[in-house]
Structure 1
């Protein structure tokens, strides 16, 4: 594991950009960017267009290491190039730590949660991630109800996969998202925090993880996780909140930084001039950075 990148992620001021929309969410991401579905006729063309969008974001002067600690990539983005360099290498040269989304999407709902689908090709993907100089990974589950059994299974699955990622020499970001629109969200978060703590306490010496969580209903509800000696960093997803709303909620939580996707790219459009595009991106980066480092 790259120790310089580890120190940046652990101690740096800023946030992590989520650029990891994959198969199911790519059409929505392109549509939000102003690319209509009739602009492509197959998945290959669709992924070409989304790589153009991500390239435009990553190469923007506003996408800089002064404010952005890391970026989460989709598998195809990892295997593609930006200005003649593999994406992770391009990011690293900018001083931005590269992460990779490794999950294959969500299973059907059961016991109030959605577990991750099986990942039979994970070992091969982790090997390729190391070859592409990826620092860490991210994987998402979804919690819809405060079902103790379901949440227990979510956390067990997350840590089971995290151990494989650690054994491959990579840093896992564990993401058991609590749906921000679910009923009894605060109750789900309390169950989740306790389950995560159990597994953190079982990690061996030298083993550390990162967490990506929904911004809690009760401010600082995740402070025990942020302060845990087995946690490198806790980052927050925007979860469907507008950028202003997500930033406002984020400011209430000491030590919690952003890892936003939609809230980062919401104002970007394919038809903008480079000057206009960079200005919109800078506005987003500035406000998300401010919410990550300046607390109430």
Structure 2
């Protein structure tokens, strides 16, 4: 199954849906969906509600492997069911969609222009659980705010260090060193980031590959060298605060890079919509993101 899923990600046309909102970002995601904070009184109720939202998305007729290659899941989603099946099994067996697991535990405070990831305690055990749940890969995020060469080197070093541990654990890591789209020196950060990534790709073993999740670059096609690199399975892009229309317009100018959108994918969805309207809105979003991803 793993080889089949790897080829699906490598060659498939489509994009990766990010449904991995964690404790910190879940209230905002629920609010965007029309569920206010007074609708739940504790974290467990909040996660029940967001799982309901995610389940509605995943079971929607428009949410299929024809246009969606993979889904990034939150840990609690991995351990829950959709229509009586464990979520990763439902996605693969019923939809033909590959599952990834968010493994980071949030970020440190800003230092040297970047926010490194906090330590990931229990990563080995989490990877073992993910294997049993038929998860294909992982994702972990850190953020670059300024074009600080020292900070960016630390970001990439940390991402690759954990990435190699994940590879050793039998899963495919998506490294996500996001660059803040509002950074005044975003283009310089992109140059420094690409240089460091290319350097660290050379440290991978002969049969090792990783995936990259990057902010859409300011210069069209800037990451083509990474897209075509033999150590990179796929380069995906985050929407990073752009509206869906802005994100798909910019993404379409970067051949070979596919979307991995979260907020931009969910834009316009509401808990109050009928299932028919919900599916129509989701279908429109999927179609737009798909078209930009296959340019």
Number of aligned positions between the proteins: 294
Tell me the residue number matched to 2:47.
Answer: 47
Tell me the residue number matched to 1:274.
Answer: 275
Question: 1:149 and 1:221 mapped to 2: Cα distance?
Answer: 22
Question: 1:104 and 1:205 mapped to 2: Cα distance?
Answer: 30
**Deviations 1:78-109 (CA, angstroms, capped at 9, x unpaired):** 00000111100000111000000000001100
Alignment of structure 1 residues 200-215 onto 2, 5 Å: 200-215=201-216
- 2:112 counterpart of 1:111: yes
Segments of structure 2 that go 5 or more residues without pairing to the other structure are none
**Deviations 1:14-61 (CA, angstroms, capped at 9, x unpaired):** 000000000000000000000010000000000000000000000001
- 2:30 counterpart of 1:30: yes
Tell me the residue number matched to 2:251.
Answer: 250
**Deviations 1:145-196 (CA, angstroms, capped at 9, x unpaired):** 0000000000000000001100011000000000011111000000000000
Tell me the residue number matched to 2:294.
Answer: 293
Measured after TM superposition, the shift of residue 201 of structure 1 is 1.3
Measured after TM superposition, the shift of residue 120 of structure 1 is 1.2
Measured after TM superposition, the shift of residue 202 of structure 1 is 1.6
Measured after TM superposition, the shift of residue 204 of structure 1 is 1.1
Root mean square deviation, CA, Å? 0.6
Q: What SS class does the counterpart of residue 236 from structure 1 fall into?
A: strand
Tell me the residue number matched to 1:79.
Answer: 79
Question: 2:8 and 2:124 mapped to 1: Cα distance?
Answer: 26
- 2:262 counterpart of 1:261: yes
Question: 1:48 and 1:233 mapped to 2: Cα distance?
Answer: 32
Tell me the residue number matched to 2:129.
Answer: 128
Tell me the residue number matched to 1:98.
Answer: 99
Q: What SS class does the counterpart of residue 142 from structure 1 fall into?
A: strand
Question: 2:84 and 2:152 mapped to 1: Cα distance?
Answer: 43
Tell me the residue number matched to 1:21.
Answer: 21
- 2:164 counterpart of 1:167: no
Segments of structure 1 that go 5 or more residues without pairing to the other structure are none
Measured after TM superposition, the shift of residue 293 of structure 1 is 0.6
Tell me the residue number matched to 2:89.
Answer: 89
Tell me the residue number matched to 2:235.
Answer: 234
Q: What SS class does the counterpart of residue 241 from structure 2 fall into?
A: coil
TM, length-normalised to structure 2: 0.99
Tell me the residue number matched to 2:58.
Answer: 58
Q: What SS class does the counterpart of residue 99 from structure 1 fall into?
A: strand
Question: 1:275 and 1:29 mapped to 2: Cα distance?
Answer: 21
Tell me the residue number matched to 2:140.
Answer: 139
TM, length-normalised to structure 1: 0.99
Tell me the residue number matched to 1:181.
Answer: 182
Measured after TM superposition, the shift of residue 140 of structure 1 is 0.2
